Structures are given as C-alpha cells and as structure tokens.
Amino acid sequence: MSPKMGIQGDLGGLFIVYTSTPPFHSSLHLTHAYIHNSSMASQTHTLPPLPYAYDALEPVISKQIMELHHQKHHQTYINNLNAAISAQASAASSNNAPTLIALQQKLRFNGGGHINHSLFWNNLTPPGTPGNNIDSAPTLRKAIASRWGTQDTFVEAFNAELLNLQGSGWGWLVSKGGAKGQLDIVTTKDQDPVNGPNVPVFGVDMWEHAYYLQYLNNKADYVEGIRRIIHWAEAEKRYASGLESLLKL
Ligand SMILES: [Fe+2]
C-alpha cells in the first residue's frame, strides 16, 4: 500500500491519493469534501467530533484546552479552508490565475491544520483504555524495537526531537514509503502535513495552543504526558495498513 497525502501544488486542490486497493483499516474519517480539482468544489468541510469526552484526557490535557483546541482552533482551520476552497472555485471559473496562485498558502496551511488535528485527536486515547496499552500494537512494537532497540530509547529520541522543534509545528512517528516501512521521527513546520508516501503513525501538536494554558513553558512535561495517552491500537492500524482515505470521499 502506498498512500500519498498532501496539498497539491498547481491549483491548490486538496488531495489524498492511495495507490493500492482495499481493504484499508483505519478509524480516521473526516467529514468533508474531496476536491479532485479546482473546478469541482462542492461540499464543505465540517468539524469531526472528538472520539472521547472533552475531559477524557485529564489529567494529561485539561478539558479547557481540549474545548478550545477542538472547538476554536480546529474549527478555524476548517472555516478558513472552506473559504479558500470557495475562493478557489470562483477564481478557477473565471480563469483568474493570480488569485489561484495567491490561495496556495491558505489552502496548504488550513488544509494541513484540518488533516493534522483530525489525526491528532484519533491518535490519543484516555489513560488506561485498552488501546492505550502498547500490547495492542505488536507489529509496531516490533518495528520500534528493530529501529531503536528499546521502547525507552525510542521515547527518548522522540521526545528530544519534539523539544528541539523551533517555533510552531508537529512531531511525527512516520512509516517511510507506506505501511510497514522503516520508522522515522520527523517534524513538520506550522501546519505542514506528513507528505505521502510516508504514513503518519502518530503525531504530536507542538503549537503553544496545545499545552500552554496547562503547562505554561514546561514543554517537556507536556511531551511526557502525551506519551501516556498514545492510542497504540490506532497507531498499529496506521502502521500495519496505512491510512484509509484520510479525507473520506
Ligand atoms: Fe493545534
């Protein structure tokens, strides 16, 4: 399976392409439209519900942060994405190339914000739930051991990479080249998504809005807390089978 995801270049069409055939396995489904090209904008993107209650990730992430992060921040990316898509359709219908070009960054930033946050909510789970146990990720655990030796060594490397990120961005465990690939730790700036064919196994939002109200400048404690609420069962699905259509058509 070789999924490709990202933000298309020429006319700013948001695209996710999967080059293999079903079956796919993933719990991630976005509620939105798939824009095949700039002339086909139809539906709008909507905020996907959280897979748990706003206070379910406490004490690691407070209810207040989750409410603001989901209802305000993620919603704003979606609103701006919808506006950019609408403007893109209008510009495309009038062959307005300068406007189409000017919309690229808005599409990339807000489309990436929608993708990244949708992945993030689903790769977290309340502490102590079954999917929170790494035993629910046997294939991934073996791959981590093969790459880093021990789980502790991996956590140390992952956390260090997150804490080295300058400015706003995301930290990811990725499977290179598609499902069941070599694992790697990468960061992306701002709201850039992980580009295909690499598969984002799980990601951590390192924007201040994700932690500052609770952790202030103590980023290390936030990162350590996230480690305790990883949804390993979801990570296993992404690693073993790739992502189903990330932007559900
Ligand atoms: Fe965020």
Q: Is the pLDDT of residue 7 over 50?
A: no
Give the Å distance between the CA of 96 and the centre of ligand 1.
Answer: 32
Mean pLDDT of 125-144: 96
Q: Is the pLDDT of residue 25 over 50?
A: no
| Average pLDDT, rounded, for the chain | 86
Give the Å distance between the CA of 69 and the centre of ligand 1.
Answer: 6
**What single-letter amino acid sits at 127?**
P
Cα(40)–Cα(42) distance, integer angstroms:
6
Q: Is 32 annotated as a binding residue?
A: no
Mean pLDDT of 26-43: 46
> Do the beta carbons of residue 193 and residue 133 sit within 8 Å?
no
Amino acid 243: pLDDT? 85
Q: Using a CB cutoff of 5 Å, list residues around ligand 1, an ion.
A: 205, 207, 210
Of the pLDDT bands very low, low, confident and very high (cuts 50, 70, 90), residue 14 is: very low
For 98, counting Cβ atoms within 10 Å of its Cβ (0-12 exposed, 13-18 middle, 19+ buried), the class is exposed
Q: Is 45 annotated as a binding residue?
A: no
Cα(211)–Cα(34) distance, integer angstroms:
31
Question: Please, which residues bridge with residue 5 across strands?
Answer: 16
Q: Whose CA is closest to 26, among 229, 236, 249, 215?
A: 236
Ordered structural domains, the chain, with CATH: 63-123 (1.10.287.990), 130-248 (3.55.40.20)
pLDDT digits over 210-249, tens only?
A: 999 999 999 999 999 999 999 999 999 999 999 875 545 3
Question: Please, which residues bridge with residue 93 across strands?
Answer: none
Task: Write out the two tokens for 95.
Answer: 């062959």
